[in-house]
Amino acid sequence: MVSQVFGTLVAAVLVNLVLFTLEFAMACQLFSKKREEVSRWTKFRVWFTLIIDTAATLSSCVFLYMFEESHWDEDEHDEEHERFWQLIIGTLIIGTVSSALAQSYLMERFWRNIRHHLLGTAFAVSLLVLAAIASIASLVTCAYMQWTKAETDNIKPFVWLALISNLVYAVGITAISVCQRFAMRTAGPKPRFLNRVFRGFVETGMPSSIVVILALIAWVVDNIAVYVIALYFVQARIYSCTMLYSLRQTKLVRMENWKEALISTTIAQKPQPVPPLAPEMMVRIEKSGRLTGIPEENQAKWYNIDLSEATRASIESKELEEAQPKELVVGTPRAIVLHRSSILDKQ
């Protein structure tokens, strides 16, 4: 029995070390590249989670070393065994804090993405929050009862409650996130298919849901607490890695706010040049000064030419025309006004 417990703890601690190394690397990349984009609350949450995960990882390694030194192939010394279990249970309680912080980030992201559906979102958020609170409370209760050496029959109902409520929360947030990603239309270029699948797999929380399902299966089959504790260690690091991975990724531009997003992110471009005019139209402009009477049957070609000389010539011709007295011709606006005024005078 001791060998089985030790092997399970060794596997859990090794996976925990790998995930913690990945978490630390992603945290360093996040604060080195996106320091200004991250809010203060998010920075505090990431740093606090990283500190807690560091303490939990170190304590799990210390526990594994102490357990190996005094209990390898020894089924006696129950008092020392219980003392070491108190250390691992304390570490488990510390790990629930980091899990709660990562879960709060997932809930906040879920609320921001679909808060326009107020009633449904409020109901889903309330249900998931209650499930998370029940999971954490029952897990802490189990740890405290194990610490005080309570009877196993009294602890089992709280273990069931912790596993079921954790399953409801993890699977619920995963299902809602998957539906949201399918329903959300985004603007901009799409990444490759494998990148989209991997990003959706991580950001929707599927790894944590798989771990919870495995923990529930292990408890149903053997009723051995060490499997559940090992999987809870792994789940806490997975939640932290999920939060950091989501923060490092570029935000998807939703179609609802695509105008504001594009205006705030794009660079102001130069104005488009004025299209060139056909030579025939230039001649008409110089003669009449207006664009009326252009025949549609003459399909003139368009040329890229310099209009500076033509513009200068048109300005000079206008100045000469203004300097010379003009005769009123029937059909001009001024002649029409004079004609109407003369008719009124006659009446």
Q: What is the pLDDT of residues 207-256, one digit of tens each?
A: 888 888 888 887 787 766 666 777 777 888 888 888 888 887 766 544 44
Q: How confident is the model at residue 341 (pLDDT cuts 50, 70, 90)?
A: very low
pLDDT of residue 84: 62
pLDDT of residue 214: 82
Helices vs strands, H then E, count in the chain: 12, 2
Identify the residue with better confidence: 37 or 59. Answer: 59
Identify the residue with better confidence: 311 or 196. Answer: 196
pLDDT of residue 308: 56
Mean per-residue pLDDT of the chain: 68
Q: Is the pLDDT of residue 34 over 80?
A: no
Percent of the chain past pLDDT 70, that is, above it, reads 51
**Average pLDDT, stretch 96-117?**
68
Residue 164's nearest CA partner among 132, 123, 196 is 132
Q: Is residue 283 within 8 Å of residue 314, measured between CB atoms?
A: no
Identify the residue with better confidence: 7 or 19. Answer: 19
Q: Which two tokens stand for residue 37?
A: 């984009």
Q: Minimum mean pLDDT among 113-122, 127-136, 148-157, 216-225: which range?
A: 113-122
Q: Is the pLDDT of residue 18 over 80?
A: yes
pLDDT of residue 303: 46
Q: Minimum mean pLDDT among 62-66, 183-187, 305-309: which range?
A: 305-309
| Pairing of the two strands 186-187 and 253-254 | antiparallel
Q: Is the pLDDT of residue 53 over 80?
A: yes
pLDDT of residue 52: 82
pLDDT of residue 255: 46
| Segments of the chain assigned E as strands | 186-187, 253-254
Q: Is the pLDDT of residue 342 over 50?
A: no
pLDDT of residue 302: 47
Residue for token digits 């249970």?
Answer: 89
**Measured between alpha carbons, how far is 164 from 119 in angstroms, rounded to an integer?**
25
Q: Is the pLDDT of residue 13 over 60?
A: yes
Q: Is the pLDDT of residue 314 over 80?
A: no
Q: Could you tell me which residues are beta bridge partners of residue 332?
A: 330
Predicted TM-score (pTM) above 0.75: no
Q: How many residues in the chain? A: 347
The amino acid occupying position 143 is A
pLDDT tens sequence across 261-309:
555 555 555 555 555 555 555 555 555 544 444 444 455 544 444 555 6
CA distances for 317 relative to 170, 289, 311, angstroms: 80, 10, 10
Q: Minimum mean pLDDT among 51-65, 94-108, 184-198: which range?
A: 184-198
Q: Could you tell me which residues are beta bridge partners of residue 254?
A: 186
Q: Is the pLDDT of residue 177 over 80?
A: no
pLDDT of residue 258: 47
Q: Is residue 64 within 8 Å of residue 72, measured between CB atoms?
A: no
Q: How confident is the model at residue 339 (pLDDT cuts 50, 70, 90)?
A: very low
Identify the residue with better confidence: 159 or 20. Answer: 20
